Amino acid sequence: MTLYIVKRLGWIVFNLLVLSLIAFALIKSVPGSFLELQILLGQAGTTATGLTVSEIDKIKGVETEMMKRWGETVPLWEQYITFIKGVVTLNMGPSFRWPTQTIEEIIARTFPVSFTIAILAITIAVFIGIPLGVIAALKQNTWIDYLVSALVMIVSAIPNYVMAVFVIFLFSFWIPILPTYGWGHPKNYILPVLAMSFGPIGSIAGYMRTSLLDALKQDYVRTAWAKGGNERYVIFGHAMRNSLIPLVTILGPMISHLILGTVFVEGMFGVPGMGQYFSQAANSRDYPLMMAQTVIFGLILMIMNLVVDIIYFFLDPRIRVSRR
């Protein structure tokens, strides 16, 4: 197992290098620089990112220094090496859009916000999705099963940003009891978490239903029935316990996808997380921050997949790592 983990960590490093190279190539292929974009948009008095013309003048010096590292006169390979060195040494320099803050400071401040929202959303999804899946499985081919399955299909198909629009509309006009925008109060967590939990609820409920139905058909469950086990013991002590193990395989990637999905939702609710900063960085051509966040997103996904594999290995004794 230790050798397997070491190999996986090696592949993570390799995949991150490939991801960073692809992200660098794509981001650098976008025409225009940060300052050019701000000056162009600032001719109207303000920019799309909220900077006035006077504020643009204040950061021209910083932009000039940054152009020495990222400008057109610097070879692309040198820019890429500079970026990789910054990632390895945790010294990626200041952001274009927020020149008084380093990229490390921005990520350190925004990642906990996005991660907390994702964890809360997945927690709600687990506590609602698992019971729904169990009920649907135990009531197979009844109107309850059909209703739960229909709801699962609907909420799973709706993107989280569409659900965010619905939640904002609902709590702005029909039930105005919660803030729909802003940050700084525990209540501000509720609606973003709610909007992002619907999709995982559907996925977990559907997966739980299928897994439990499959477990109920296994020989060990039939044996438990034959030995005279009561219904509660057979279902919850045997079938459900074993059907929960495969569910672990989707929770890790689901958390990663929730963090990635905050790009739109955080901006709609005014949440100062990685998603909103990534969106603003993309709009303002802040490619150092964009590249850094892309690597972070990729790292989160790979680490979560590794954690899931390790947990699954210890939960299910039948699993043996055979890669050499």
Q: How many angstroms separate the CA atoms of 63 and 96, rounded?
A: 7
All structural domains of the chain with their residue ranges: 112-273
Residue 33: the pLDDT is 60
CATH superfamily entry for domain 112-273: MetI-like (1.10.3720.10)
Instruction: Find out whether 282 and 264 touch, Cβ atoms under 8 Å.
Output: no
Is it the case that residue 117 has pLDDT exceeding 60?
Answer: yes
H/E stretch holding 122 reads helix 103-138
pTM (predicted TM-score): 0.79
Instruction: Find out whether 206 and 133 touch, Cβ atoms under 8 Å.
Output: yes
Q: What's the chain's average pLDDT?
A: 78
**What letter would DSSP give residue 186?**
G
Crossing angle of helices 143-157 and 103-138, in 10° steps, is: 160
Residue 127: the pLDDT is 92
CA-angle at 163, arms to 165 and 111, nearest 5°? 95
Instruction: Find out whether 157 and 184 touch, Cβ atoms under 8 Å.
Output: no
Instruction: Find out whether 196 and 121 touch, Cβ atoms under 8 Å.
Output: yes
Residue 324: the pLDDT is 46
Residue 128: the pLDDT is 92
pLDDT class of 321 with cuts at 50, 70, 90: very low
